[in-house]
Amino acid sequence: MGDNREVLTSVEKQPNVSYPVLTPNLKGLDAAVAAGAEEVALFTGATDTFNMKNTNCSTAESVKRAKEILEKALEQKLKVRGYLSCVLGCPYEGAVKPEKVAELAKELYDAGCYEISLGDTIGVGTAGSMAKLLDHVLKVVPIEAVAVHCHDTYGQALANILKALEYGIRVVDSSVAGLGGCPYAPGAKGNVATEDVVYMLNGMGFETGVDLNALVETGEWISQQLGRPTSSRAGAALMVAKKRRDELAKAAQLASNKASKL
């Protein structure tokens, strides 16, 4: 996270778009404010072992730190988003009780987070476990303050998002080309690809405000820069279709030029 300031200050800001900065501690919050952040994000995991591996503290201590960041951020009139990791499973402790997740979600919401993102950090969730989780969380946190964050390790991310949509959730975290992962969750794949989510939402008639073609090209570009194939199935398929259209258009233009010369 050493280049956070450079990234935030270099981005060409667009109207009506939020640019939240992840702030793991008070020092990170101060740095975010100095860089001009107007929204920050804080996080905690749902299990003690994950929190110990990730931030070297227990869940209770992690929540306490998060509240300290939250209090200071709110004093400075910043919007604060809360993230909960390992809500459907932990790489160290296995299954996670939805009651525990609901308790933590309510605690962060009551403390002042405007939204709580429920993260399936290792991607083990299914539509069934997502439904059970939401049954508990939505009893204590308003639906408009709940988002989902699904990794695609087992190929279940879109199914989990669809289930969340059926419950009325309308905020979904994703990453271009499926980038991401977690160094403290061995084997976990990246977050669900934005291209795949937008393709699905378009097919369901949702208005996302996202230009899918531009998104696919961005995913192709970043994948090339990183020297790795895209993790987006929709992105890969749409790029093949685009290249084919371009080839046909080029061939047609050449044929037209040849005919003109004759």
Q: What is the pLDDT of residue 1?
A: 64
- pLDDT tens digit string along 94-119? 999 999 999 999 999 999 999 999 99
- One domain, residues 99 and 71: yes
Please count the other Cβ atoms lying within 10 Å of the Cβ belonging to residue 218.
16
For residue 11, with 0-12 CB atoms within 10 Å meaning exposed, 13-18 middle and 19 or more buried, which class applies? Answer: exposed
Please count the other Cβ atoms lying within 10 Å of the Cβ belonging to residue 13.
10
- One domain, residues 53 and 171: yes
- One domain, residues 43 and 143: yes
Q: Which residue has the higher pLDDT, 245 or 259?
A: 245
- One domain, residues 56 and 168: yes
- One domain, residues 154 and 226: no
> What pTM was computed for the model?
0.91
Q: What is the pLDDT of residue 54?
A: 87
Q: What is the pLDDT of residue 137?
A: 98
- One domain, residues 125 and 231: no
pLDDT higher than 70, residue 255 = yes
The residue out of 135, 160, 192 marking a domain boundary is 192
DSSP, residue by residue, 38-101? SEEEEEEESSHHHHHHHHSS-HHHHHHHHHHHHHHHHHTT-EEEEEEE-SS-BTTTB---HHHH
pLDDT higher than 90, residue 16 = no
- One domain, residues 59 and 107: yes
Q: What is the pLDDT of residue 147?
A: 98
Query: What value does the mean pLDDT take over residues 143-155?
Result: 96
- One domain, residues 160 and 94: yes
Distances (CA, A) of 218 to 136, 195, 224: 37, 10, 10
Given the residues 90, 113, 150, 182, the one annotated as active site: 182
State the pLDDT confidence band at 229, using cuts at 50, 70 and 90: very high
Is residue 199 in a domain? no
Domain that holds residue 245: 209-262
66 close to 107: Cβ distance less than 8 angstroms: no
Query: Mean pLDDT across the chain, nearest whole number?
Result: 93
Query: What value does the mean pLDDT take over residues 33-54?
Result: 94
What is the percentage of the chain residues whose pLDDT exceeds 70?
97
Alpha carbons 47 and 86: distance in angstroms, whole number? 7
pLDDT higher than 70, residue 262 = no
Number of domains present in the structure of the chain? 2
Alpha carbons 217 and 195: distance in angstroms, whole number? 10
- One domain, residues 26 and 79: yes
Is residue 200 in a domain? no
What are the tokens at 115? 């939204």
- What CATH number does residue 93 fall under? 3.20.20.70
Range in 24-28, 39-43, 173-177 the model is least confident about: 24-28
**90 in catalytic set:** no
- One domain, residues 157 and 228: no
Is residue 260 in a domain? yes
- pLDDT tens digit string along 170-201? 999 999 999 987 766 766 778 999 999 999 99
pLDDT higher than 70, residue 159 = yes
